[in-house]
Amino acid sequence: MNIASLAPLAVVLPILGAALTFVLIRHSRAQRAVSIALLSLTLLLECLLLSSVWEGGTAAVNIAGWLPPWGIVMVVDQFSSLMLVVSSAVSLAVLVYATGQGMADGDQDAPVSIFHPTYLILVAGVSNAFLSGDLFNLYVGFEILLTASYVLMTLGGTGPRIRAGVTYVVVSVVSSVLFLISIAMIYGATGTVNMADLAIKLGDLDQGTKTLLHVMLLVAFGIKAAVFPLSFWLPDSYPTAPAPVTAVFAGLLTKVGVYAMVRTETLLFPGDTLNTPLMVAALLTMVVGILGALAQSDIKRLLSFTLVSHIGYMVFGLAMSSAAGLGAAVFYVAHHITIQTSLFLVTGLIERRGGSSSVDRLAGLAKLSPMLALLFFIPAMNLAGIPPFSGFLGKVGLMQAGIELGTPLAYTLVVGGVVTSLLTLLAVARVWNRAFWRKPTDADHPDPVLLADHADSDTGRRGGRNNVVLLPRSMVGSTMGLVVLGVALTIFAGPLFNVADQAATDMLDRSSYIQAVLGEDAPVPQVLTSGGGR
């Protein structure tokens, strides 16, 4: 028996965990144990999946024995298994962080008992979306994770969260309706929703129909991935959620949208029909996003804007539709999930330690808690793309691919990418200067907590005891774990780039995917590109 046939367990285990934790809703200790154990098990399984796919190639699992193109298929290829491993590692870290926060706060602030089942369902939805080999199952995966995210977004039901939740729910439902409409139209045009089958059949449609379906899918996924001009909802809704929830949303949800865009571009509609508009969208996403970040004084909002901005890099890599560009985009997705999540987790810690997440009120944290400063500094520099971090390597990969492509638009995007990277540095450096570097007395209106701590340390009584209470070990530990994972992505960038390049080559080739689903003798249509030599 092949290990790849265990792929559905990546969805089943979290759902099982959700059921168990729901039963155990009155026993928070047992809940914690069950959810952490099951998520660790899922992560282990996905690591096995990644290694098996790396050796044995793409594998497909037919659910309940229905043959593809009729039944539901789950496909594990290098891209999806890499996404699974990174996303599960990140969600495990966030889960540990969240349980730490729940324990430290005595579960008063939010109904944490509902957190565990919902969170596990979110993870199941993400895994389902990554594994799905079927357009409708992808929709179901999206809906599972979105419905769970609605609950997490409005956890506690406070005024601001409800307000943010309304925007989020309405935008998500509209994008889902668009996705469903495009599925219906694709089914009407081809008579199938199986993605491998579609890869063959969509090629036979006439150009107008194809472009229509293509644009509809991209718009639906573009809303989920927060590509400008469809990104307006994200900075409006993410920052109000509890810190661990924002962290996991920032890391995973938009990336599922990017994942779906990658599949659309490479598997369903290969070729370069929409590359130019995608490149323009990528450029605008990068530049507009980061300009928005510069205007913010709240760290969470600032990070939400950098999140939007950096989605642009991934879309850039995708829009080049060359192996180098796509490989760099895959690497960048893995890097960005880790870094963005750890930054949001650190912001949660900053908020606990400094009493606020607004840079107008924070000051002197570097002296109060050097560990916190280090935990912020490393991912922040990583995000801005300072060598030698993985952010730098990913960006260099994208720039190289852009220069290889050599069109004027690609050069513009390379310049835009460098400018965005510098502006990101400016944005995070401002946070660093204000929240960590300056003295509390220099702040405009510092939080009283900071001034009190400062006085304490002046009289020789260091705020050591405060550090322990405000920064529980499990929260710092899980954040540190993610930061270390981010650094590990730098150290193991070589092998990771190999995986990413291999995944990109496989996706562009399409034959391994189609043949894994439909059998060895399935015809693999040729990709027609309009420009020669690209």
Question: Where on the chain is the footprint of another protein (CB under 8 A)?
Answer: 136, 140, 143, 147, 150-151, 154, 157-160, 162-167, 169-170, 173-174, 176-177, 180-181, 183-185, 187-188, 193, 236, 239, 295-298, 301, 434, 444-445
Q: Please, what is the minimum distance in Å from the beta carbon of residue 232 to another protein? A: 10
Look-up of token digits 């987790």: 345
Cα(261)–Cα(184) distance, rounded to whole angstroms? 18
3-state SS record for 120-142: HHHHHHHHHHHHECEHHHHHHHH
Closer residue to another protein in complex, CB, 193/339: 193
Q: Please, what is the minimum distance in Å from the beta carbon of residue 433 to another protein? A: 9
Closer residue to another protein in complex, CB, 124/315: 124
Closer residue to another protein in complex, CB, 174/528: 174
Look-up of token digits 């059921």: 19
Q: Please, what is the minimum distance in Å from the beta carbon of residue 444 to another protein? A: 5
CA atoms within 13 A on the CB side of 97: 31
Closer residue to another protein in complex, CB, 239/394: 239
3-state SS record for 160-176: HHHHHHHHHHHHHHHHH
3-state helix, strand, coil in the chain (%, to 5): 80, 0, 20
Whether 94 contacts 131, CB under 8 Å: no
Cα(263)–Cα(138) distance, rounded to whole angstroms? 11
Closer residue to another protein in complex, CB, 54/187: 187
Closer residue to another protein in complex, CB, 67/170: 170
Closer residue to another protein in complex, CB, 238/313: 238
Q: Please, what is the minimum distance in Å from the beta carbon of residue 137 to another protein? A: 10
Interstrand relation of 73-76 and 59-62 (parallel, antiparallel or unpaired)? antiparallel
Closer residue to another protein in complex, CB, 213/320: 213
Helix (H) or strand (E) holding 62: strand 59-62
Q: Please, what is the minimum distance in Å from the beta carbon of residue 292 to another protein? A: 9
Whether 176 contacts 143, CB under 8 Å: yes
Whether 209 contacts 289, CB under 8 Å: no
Dihedral (CA of 382, 305, 432, 158) sign? negative
Closer residue to another protein in complex, CB, 301/395: 301
Cα(496)–Cα(492) distance, rounded to whole angstroms? 6
Closer residue to another protein in complex, CB, 162/403: 162
- Residue 298: beta bridge partners? 358
Q: Please, what is the minimum distance in Å from the beta carbon of residue 323 to another protein? A: 35
Q: Please, what is the minimum distance in Å from the beta carbon of residue 263 to another protein? A: 19
Cα(237)–Cα(118) distance, rounded to whole angstroms? 18
DSSP state, residue 252: I
Q: Please, what is the minimum distance in Å from the beta carbon of residue 150 to another protein? A: 6
Q: Please, what is the minimum distance in Å from the beta carbon of residue 516 to another protein? A: 23
Q: Please, what is the minimum distance in Å from the beta carbon of residue 147 to another protein? A: 6
Closer residue to another protein in complex, CB, 302/345: 302
Q: Please, what is the minimum distance in Å from the beta carbon of residue 295 to another protein? A: 6
Closer residue to another protein in complex, CB, 295/371: 295
Instruction: Supply 99's token pair.
Output: 């349980």
Instruction: Supply 512's token pair.
Output: 């391994």
Q: Please, what is the minimum distance in Å from the beta carbon of residue 40 to another protein? A: 29
How far is the first Cα of the chain from the last one, in angstroms, to the nearest whole number?
A: 41
Burial group, residue 532, by CB count within 10 angstroms (0-12, 13-18, 19+)? exposed
3-state SS record for 489-504: HHHCHHHHHHHHHHHH
Cα(527)–Cα(349) distance, rounded to whole angstroms? 49
Cα(244)–Cα(100) distance, rounded to whole angstroms? 10
